[in-house]
Structure 1
Amino acid sequence: MPRVVPAVIRSLDILELFLDNARLSAREIAERLGLPRTTVHELLVTLVARSYLISVPGQPVQFRLGMSVLRLGAAFAGQLDLVREAQDVAQDVAAACDEAVHVAVLDGTDVMYVVKVDSTHPVRMVSAVGRRLPAHCTAVGKMLLSSLEPFDLDALVPDRELVGMTPASVTDPVRLRAELERVRVAGVAFDDGESDSAVRCVAAPVREHSGRTVAAMSVSAPIIRWTPDTHDEWTRLVKQGAAALSSRLGFLPPA
């Protein structure tokens, strides 16, 4: 097996300390990593020379992340492809539950499905990539609406009756806002026959590197296969799948 280079490992250990700290001194870095101060000093000089760290102005013994880290992060973000990454993860989730798995994004007051992996059951949900539905009638849509800032949500949810798709659709804006608040707290959204009377869905948020919710993933199944046990299992699977996709997009959950 190829040998890892200790100096590189130590340099990366130093950089990773700044994931939870805006600035650190050489003494703090040496103490946290258990390294000799002379070793830390040499590594810091190298990292500063390559702009991975910079000295805090006016406090030369304090350090913070430099522009090279930002350039690497921007290059990584630019290589990401939501649809490609989502397709891989959605296939894994669908294989685990054998139900339809969707990934959708918000487009105005609608959601648009960008990924679909179908189940193998003869009775299945009718949907397609590129299909648009009113966001407030779907689990993915409610998940995405719940992530908006109040000003942006106000622009999409007017103070008047909304158009429903089934008798179960939430069309009262006051009731919808209350439900979105519950979704925001719970981190999971449900569609109980609100877009299709014969189908139930559960959705979880997909976040990119900054923590912003950029999509939602759902598991959808006919009501005839939706039981208390499958409810719990599919909720767990969609949360795991959304977290896995978020990780692929560079999101690091808070410690």
Structure 2
Amino acid sequence: MSQSLLKAVGLLDCFHSKSELSLIELVEMSQLPKTTVFRLVLSLEEAGLLVRVKRSSHDVKYRMGLKLLELGNRVSEQLEYRKIALPYMKQLNEKLNELIHMVAIEGNEAVYVEKLDSSKPVRLVIKVGKRSPLYAGSGPKMLLASMDDAVLNNYLEQLEIQAITENTITSKEALLEEIAKIRERGYSVSKAEHFKDTVGFSFPIKNYNGTTLAALGISIPITDYSKDKEEVIIEEIRKTAQHISTLLGYSG
């Protein structure tokens, strides 16, 4: 990451204790050279991330700009579905006693943004914040299959597939076939592609305009797998994902 960007973010962090800071205060708090701070402040001001407050020629301070509020609201809106989904994820977790997880796209990766553990002695453990390639695992593959074709093609052009387990899809041709299957049936299945000895199932969470915001998934130990259990899990997660999507305004 650019050192200048890191330093600029560090300057914004200085405002955690005071709403307005002078250039001298920013120099002291950041421990950066005055010329560096001045240059970064000008850039942040130009971007709308800092605003100059000039009360006199000798009293000039800076405060955080409304652009940050706008960006924060966008992040909040993007993750609002977590709050809406969580009670229904808990119900699903209590009913099935299996790992329930939710993943969303960030860049070219899937990120686990919520999860509820199983109480079984043998179970998969996933931490919120864990990242995964989009080609491995039921949730990530569901997100991949939900991409527009133009975005998907761009992703595939840059993709370098690395096997995570012996079951990971390792060719783009096979991945395209898998995406076609997911789109046709409306959900994704993973059999030990990302986590060994684990089977996963995921459905999309959609908003009012049909955009897939996240993938809701269930993962079980492969030793617990049976065709009958698969049918039960798919039906339960389908109903839950559809209900959450309805609450988010989806009517498809």
TM-score by length of 2: 0.67
1:249 pairs with 2:244: no
Contact 1:113 1:129 in 2 (8 A): yes
In the comparison of the two structures, how many residue pairs are matched?
177
Contact 1:160 1:172 in 2 (8 A): no
Does the C-alpha gap of structure 1 residues 140 and 123 become closer, same or farther in structure 2, counting only changes over 3 Å?
A: same
1:109 deviation in Å?
2.3
1:78 deviation in Å?
5.9
Equivalent in the alignment of 1:70? none
Can you list the C-alpha shifts for 1:122-170, whole angstroms capped at 9, x where unaligned?
1111201111111110101111111111110012123765112101000
| Structure 1 vs Structure 2 CA RMSD | 1.8
Paired residue type of 2:197? A
Does the C-alpha gap of structure 1 residues 79 and 118 become closer, same or farther in structure 2, counting only changes over 3 Å?
A: closer
Equivalent in the alignment of 1:229? 228
1:212 pairs with 2:211: yes
Where do 5+ consecutive residues of structure 1 fail to align?
Answer: 1-76
1:108 deviation in Å?
2.3
Equivalent in the alignment of 1:124? 123
Distance in 2, Cα, partners of 1:151 & 1:89? 33
Q: Percent identity?
A: 26
Distance in 2, Cα, partners of 1:106 & 1:211? 16
1:248 deviation in Å?
1.6
Does the C-alpha gap of structure 1 residues 142 and 174 become closer, same or farther in structure 2, counting only changes over 3 Å?
A: same
Equivalent in the alignment of 2:43? none
Equivalent in the alignment of 1:140? 139
Does the C-alpha gap of structure 1 residues 122 and 146 become closer, same or farther in structure 2, counting only changes over 3 Å?
A: same
Where do 5+ consecutive residues of structure 2 fail to align?
Answer: 1-75
Distance in 2, Cα, partners of 1:122 & 1:128? 17
1:177 pairs with 2:176: yes
Contact 1:161 1:173 in 2 (8 A): no
Distance in 2, Cα, partners of 1:80 & 1:246? 14
Segments of 4+ in structure 1 off by > 2 A? 77-80, 158-161
Q: Secondary structure at the match of 1:170?
A: coil
Equivalent in the alignment of 2:166? 167
Distance in 1, Cα, partners of 2:166 & 2:117? 26
Contact 1:165 1:195 in 2 (8 A): yes
Equivalent in the alignment of 1:94? 93
Equivalent in the alignment of 1:150? 149
Distance in 1, Cα, partners of 2:78 & 2:196? 40
